[in-house]
Amino acid sequence: MKERQFILIYGVVMIVACIGCLYTLYGISSVEDRPYYSDYLLIITSIWYMMTGVGILLKKRWGYYLLKIILYILLLGFPIGTFVSYKSLVYIKKHNVKRLFGFGADGDALVY
């Protein structure tokens, strides 16, 4: 039961992060001297967060992999990002959250 709440919370957080990226893009749209690549970076990041959130909520394997990639990148965000990412990765491993995404006990994909 806790594993399902964990997935639900992370899925919603990723979708809220997507909305936050789009809001930031809207907020800086009036800035004249912003770098030309900032718009593309925010759009790509928001799409990545949205895909991850939807993949997690739908319990797709690719959602699990996108979440793991985000958590490994977040390890570089010292100190808060490192703490949150480390605790999340430990929780995923300890509670075998991977099985909720269609993986077997040994980590192999289950065939339906």
- Per-residue pLDDT of 69-84, as tens digits, reads 999 999 999 999 999 9
Stretch 6-14: mean pLDDT, rounded?
A: 95
- What pTM was estimated for this model as a whole? 0.85
3-state SS track over the chain: CHHHHHHHHHHHHHHHHHHHHHHHHHHHCCCCCCCCCHHHHHHHHHHHHHHHHHHHHCCCHHHHHHHHHHHHHHCCCCCHHHHHHHHHHHHHHHCCHHHHHCECCCCCECCC
pLDDT digits (tens, 9 = 90+) for 14-57: 999 999 999 999 988 888 888 878 889 999 999 999 999 999 99
